[in-house]
Structure 1
Amino acid sequence: MLNEGKHFTICIVGGGSRYTPGILRMMVHEMGRFPLDKVILYDCEYERQHRVAGYARILMREYAPKTEIVDTTDPAEAFKGIDFAMMQIRAGRMKMRESDEHIALKHGCIGQETCGAGGFAYGMRSIPAVVKLIHQIRQYSPDAWILNYSNPAAIVAEATKRIFPGDYKVINICDMPVGIMSMYAETLHKKPSELEARYFGLNHFGWFTHVYDKETGHDYLPEIRKIYSNMPEDPDDHGLDHSWAETYRFMNKMIREMPDEYLPNTYLQYYLYPQHMLSTENPNYTRANEVMDGSEKRTFEMIDEVIAAGKLKGTKYELDPSDNKDEHATYIVDLAYALSHNTGDVFLCMTENHGIISNFSEGAMVEVPCHMGVHGPEAINVGEIPTFQKGILENQFAYEKLTVDANLEGSYRKAWQALTLNRLVNDKDTAKALLDDYIVANKGYWPELK
């Protein structure tokens, strides 16, 4: 098999992220099939990243002593000679996400980080940051795989497609469908690795059409629909942040009310039930606040405890060999392995629509199942999609395309048009008021709009 026995060097771009410890733990679990010589953490915030690096060094010393950890803010040191760059940046971090949400709610709109006005503001910040990083990576490692899962992924993918045409080693991915598939697998008493999805849409805006058993080919989708349509209300949050627990509970309603043949991505709750979702928002305590007080706080408390103890083994944070439930981390490692070893395994990812969805906009960055190997994603054909899905997808794509136009051209007019088209704004006066407030709040992050 290609690259069998090779040891890889990877760079986690956004090394100070709360997701990094989970990725590192999964890499330790997978050292047998995906061995690493070096893991480089790169971030613009050294102090935050240095805390993560302290945890990483203890983890590797105890579980993978041959793997070197480097943490740096120098692009040359970070990107030279790497095999993979795994990008998980958040331009403006959680404080700007909080700002996005509050501004949207001030104008009576949903401010979620990838949907609605909040997703627009975040996308306008993400494009310049991601593009700059890819240019730097290509300067020092022209042949490295760049796995980008920075949000809002659909907008970022549309921008990178234009700026790096033909660079099939820039791959835009999202772990949300993987998380949903893991939930389906648990419901069916299966392992996620035993299932394979068929799916179409844009990122955070799509539908499952089949959920196949890899061995037998049996389609579990009708059974999943029946189970979730009749599932009783579960008051337990199961360790999730409250908003995520509510999201999974609300999915039961969406499944009951969707056309019989498809299962929705959870994010469709914002687009199909915007009035309900807006009614659940708390302007004094948004999702950003919940993350900062929840998973982010817990992650850095864990990091600090491990550093203080100087070890993981013998503590409550000791690795469990069977603990491989971090879908975010698992997906990234599985994808890197498929690309480096040319397995041809199927993953959901974003790729240009050249007849994949035959009655949808040519060239749009659609999220569909793809075989993954040394030539990058090779999409599985979807064919025609129904009028309802086509209609709202075309509207969403027009919004995303105009957002990228506005960013790359510095166009106030196109930014206003984008927000007006956004399904969670849908009003020209509101769009202008949002845009003007976001311009002030995002000074230094956005290009100047004229």
Structure 2
Amino acid sequence: MKLAVVGGGSTYTPELIDGFARLRDTLPVSELVLIDPAADRLELVGGLARRIFAKQDHPGTIVTTSDLDAGVEGADAVLLQLRVGGQAARQQDETWPLECGCVGQETTGAGGLAKALRTVPVVLDIAERVRRTNPDAWIIDFTNPVGIVTRALLQAGHKAVGLCNVAIGLQRKFAALLQVTPGEVHLDHVGLNHLTWELGVRLGGPDGDNVLPKLLAEHGDAIADDLRLPRQVLDRLGVVPSYYLRYFYAHDEVVRELGTKPSRAAEVAGMERELLAMYGDPALDEKPELLAKRGGAFYSEAAVDLAASLLGNGGSPVQVVNTYNNGTLPFLADDAVIEVPARVGHGGAVPLAVPELDPLYAGLIAHVTAYEDLALEAALRGGRDRVFRALLAHPLVGQYDHADGLTDRLIAHNREHLSWA
């Protein structure tokens, strides 16, 4: 089995390699190709990847290359984990929206739109080259904004499924609090990528007992602290929102907070420098502890599980993924991309039925889906007016003067990545 990772020079990659090494019975990879145009990073990451495989006696071969077409040729699955513009672009995404009094974040709000505009054309070009080289390959998208990018891939006819680590992170956290194995915990996880709620936490499977009320009663303070939301918010809702909902539920507080401290991009850039220095140590043969602070926790386990299921090699029968709605949420179009539990197999992902949604959640999902429609149109067709319309539609913007100012800033900071600008 051959897998290719586009963006293989990412500092995330050793997390992925560690998962491939540990879970080789689930996903028996014989060849893993790391693809990245940054040759210096790729050499450091590739060296550590080979040492991790060697330490864990993995028989597979790790290849590094900057040649995309050669790297994906013959691959059974291609994982996308790229960041167009690097951490420098992320730093801008998290900074200039604050000038208009709006949240600066890499996947949500105006910064998330900027990332989508930079990313969608690049990902579609990569996917088309994969299709020319190997039309049967599955594309697993971990590239943010996952929902918009996955929808672009699916609309272009690619065999694609989107993946995020929020659900698996919560599953692991709840399992630890309940003192059960993660496999015993099933989440009623519903919404869009980075806009989800856990409506239930079930033991034993999708039809198991809902222990979410018990979790909130006994561990509500700890869960609220992790989400950085007041405990009473969780008690009043009776659900567990994704930590990304803080940008919506406490927008003004977050804007004030972001204006008084270094950006997350600056923190991550510092970590990346440290990590790359570590990766260059020939004695290092395991992922360093610092990597856990970089983000992407449990990404490797989710990716292995998804790839194994798509390639017919086992894997969990039900996984939380990003895929077409196809009637799952009746208030959305069939071709909207949602993030819900799905039955995953060789033919792709089929969403499970979900509980009827309270208008409190359904309304925000519909609102953000409308924004994503406009964001994808702007990414595919370009133009200042399309960017403005997407920003005006976003619930974190919503005022014409903010949308105008953000449009000008977005274009000014991203001109080199926008072919139409």
Q: How does 1:217-228 map to 2 (within 5 A)?
A: 217-228=208-219
Q: Deviations over 1:39-92 (max 9, x none)?
A: 100012111111101111222233335311111111222110011111111111
Q: How does 1:394-433 map to 2 (within 5 A)?
A: 394-433=366-405
Q: Which segment drifts farther, 185-194 or 371-380?
A: 185-194
In the alignment, which of 166, 182, 193 is matched to residue 183 of structure 2? 193
Query: What is the aligned partner in structure 2 of residue 265 from structure 1?
Result: 242
1:184 aligns with 2:174: yes
- Code of the residue aligned with 2:382 in structure 1: it is G
- Code of the residue aligned with 1:277 in structure 2: it is V
Q: Is the 8 A contact 1:353 1:366 kept in 2?
A: yes
Query: What is the aligned partner in structure 1 of residue 12 from structure 2?
Result: 19
Q: Which segment drifts farther, 437-446 or 90-99?
A: 437-446
1:276 aligns with 2:267: no
Q: How does 1:428-447 map to 2 (within 5 A)?
A: 428-447=400-419
Measure, in 1, the Cα distance between the counterparts of 2:185 and 2:230: 20
Q: Which segment drifts farther, 37-46 or 152-161?
A: 152-161
Q: Is the 8 A contact 1:209 1:263 kept in 2?
A: yes
Measure, in 2, the Cα distance between the counterparts of 1:204 and 1:227: 26
Query: What is the aligned partner in structure 1 of residue 275 from structure 2?
Result: 299
Q: CA shift at 1:394, angstroms?
A: 1.3
Sort the Cα spacing of 1:426 and 1:317 in 2 relative to 1 into closer, same or farther, 3 A. closer
Q: CA shift at 1:383, angstroms?
A: 5.3
Instruction: Name the SS for the 2:94 alignment partner.
Output: helix
Instruction: Name the SS for the 1:443 alignment partner.
Output: helix
In the alignment, which of 304, 314, 337 is matched to residue 333 of structure 1? 304
Sort the Cα spacing of 1:423 and 1:128 in 2 relative to 1 into closer, same or farther, 3 A. same
Instruction: Name the SS for the 2:197 alignment partner.
Output: strand
Q: Is the 8 A contact 1:104 1:118 kept in 2?
A: yes
Measure, in 1, the Cα distance between the counterparts of 2:273 and 2:170: 25
Q: Is the 8 A contact 1:359 1:385 kept in 2?
A: no
Q: CA shift at 1:230, angstroms?
A: 4.3
Measure, in 1, the Cα distance between the counterparts of 2:58 and 2:334: 49
* Matched positions, count: 413
In the alignment, which of 129, 138, 146 is matched to residue 145 of structure 1? 138
Measure, in 1, the Cα distance between the counterparts of 2:385 and 2:411: 13
Q: Normalised by the size of structure 1, how large is the TM-score? A: 0.86
Measure, in 2, the Cα distance between the counterparts of 1:30 and 1:304: 25
Measure, in 1, the Cα distance between the counterparts of 2:48 and 2:399: 48
Measure, in 2, the Cα distance between the counterparts of 1:179 and 1:230: 18
Q: How does 1:282-431 map to 2 (within 5 A)?
A: 282=259, 285-294=262-271, 296-305=272-281, 307=282, 309=283, 312=285, 326-340=297-311, 341=313, 345-382=317-354, 384-431=356-403
Q: Is the 8 A contact 1:228 1:255 kept in 2?
A: no
RMSD of aligned Cα (Å): 2.3
- Code of the residue aligned with 2:246 in structure 1: it is Q
Q: Is the 8 A contact 2:7 2:81 kept in 1?
A: yes
- Code of the residue aligned with 1:334 in structure 2: it is D
Sort the Cα spacing of 1:232 and 1:155 in 2 relative to 1 into closer, same or farther, 3 A. closer
Q: Normalised by the size of structure 2, how large is the TM-score? A: 0.92
Q: Is the 8 A contact 2:97 2:110 kept in 1?
A: yes
Measure, in 1, the Cα distance between the counterparts of 2:372 and 2:123: 16
Q: CA shift at 1:228, angstroms?
A: 3.6
Query: What is the aligned partner in structure 2 of residue 30 from structure 1?
Result: 23
Q: Is the 8 A contact 1:352 1:366 kept in 2?
A: yes
Measure, in 1, the Cα distance between the counterparts of 2:122 and 2:247: 26
- Code of the residue aligned with 2:12 in structure 1: it is Y
Query: What is the aligned partner in structure 1 of residue 164 from structure 2?
Result: 174
Query: What is the aligned partner in structure 2 of residue 211 from structure 1?
Result: 201
Measure, in 2, the Cα distance between the counterparts of 1:77 and 1:279: 48
Q: Is the 8 A contact 2:27 2:308 kept in 1?
A: yes
Instruction: Name the SS for the 2:258 alignment partner.
Output: coil
- Code of the residue aligned with 2:117 in structure 1: it is M
Query: What is the aligned partner in structure 2 of residue 239 from structure 1?
Result: none
Sort the Cα spacing of 1:317 and 1:97 in 2 relative to 1 into closer, same or farther, 3 A. closer
- Code of the residue aligned with 1:248 in structure 2: it is L
| Structure 1: tracts of 5 or more residues without a match | 1-7, 234-245, 319-324
Measure, in 2, the Cα distance between the counterparts of 1:94 and 1:221: 37
Q: Is the 8 A contact 2:228 2:243 kept in 1?
A: no
- Code of the residue aligned with 1:187 in structure 2: it is L
1:161 aligns with 2:154: yes
Q: Which segment drifts farther, 86-95 or 381-390?
A: 381-390
Measure, in 2, the Cα distance between the counterparts of 1:389 and 1:10: 37
Q: CA shift at 1:172, angstroms?
A: 1.0
Query: What is the aligned partner in structure 2 of residue 321 from structure 1?
Result: none
Q: Is the 8 A contact 2:24 2:58 kept in 1?
A: no
Percent identity for Structure 1 against Structure 2: 29
Q: CA shift at 1:226, angstroms?
A: 1.5
